[in-house]
Structure 1
Amino acid sequence: MKDKNMDMTLLTFDSDYERLVSNISSLWDHAKSKAISAINTELLEANWQIGRHIVEFEQEGKERAQYGKQLLVNLSKDLTIKRGKGFSRSNLNYMRKLYVAFPIVEV
């Protein structure tokens, strides 16, 4: 009789334990999803702001208009040295286009 009770306790523990693992796993998945969403929002806003800075710099007079031809190339080199990957000329151009397409940020 004792063995049968012990088996029932193990089954209950296994079931409770599996539920615990499942609950923790679900909680982690939800938190991870929210974190990814928050990061994506922040990166989108940062990219928009970078695009805004580029456009505003380009629009500050004719003296800079000539410089503008090399602006993204030079920015790419300098930012890559200072900050690492993610600042290729094409990425900077996409950031610029993002700002031009959506000049007013909506929160």
Structure 2
Amino acid sequence: MVRYEQNDSVRAAYGEKTLLQLSKALTKELGRGFSRSNLQNMRLLYLNYPICQTVSGKLSWSHYCELLSISDKKKRSFYEKEAVNAGWSVREMKRQIDSSLFERLLLSRSDANKEQVLALAEKGVDYTKPEDIIKDPYVFEFLGLPEEKPFLESDLEAALVRQIEDFLLELGRGFMLVGTQQRAL
């Protein structure tokens, strides 16, 4: 349909009114879910994933709408594979994208790491060594710790405890933090 309507070009020559008219007709005939923006996303999905088998059945439509905003194919592939492997919700995937996980992994360590990240974008996670299951680097932007300089373990612990306390306060009555460190008996 897209190829026919666009005569194999990137954009149809007759403008945006077509999507609006198509949206109204499909909504009338089939019901909700065919807004103009949804049709644009469907078109983008088709253009980026022309072979249906390349789309994972483990991610939702909302995941793919977020992924389609990424123009770099390797970067998009990385986030898609990570979302499947780690079971990210759409919100978590968006947080990882916004915190530039892909770029940070490319910048960390060395050129060998860059090759590993790009391989990860192509084939997904490959657990061959025990250290492969440990996430590196960690991102603690939600703690408000400065990213430019190293911080002490005690600073990390204090920031994490504050987050836990805030979370427990949000839950309301009946929840409390008994202590942060307990001695083993």
TM-score interval for Structure 1 and Structure 2 normalised by the shorter chain: 0.3 to 0.5
Q: Which has the larger radius of gyration?
A: 1
After TM superposition, the score normalised by the length of structure 2 is 0.25
Larger RCO, structure (CA 8 Å, separation 6 or more): 1
Q: Which has the higher helix share?
A: 1
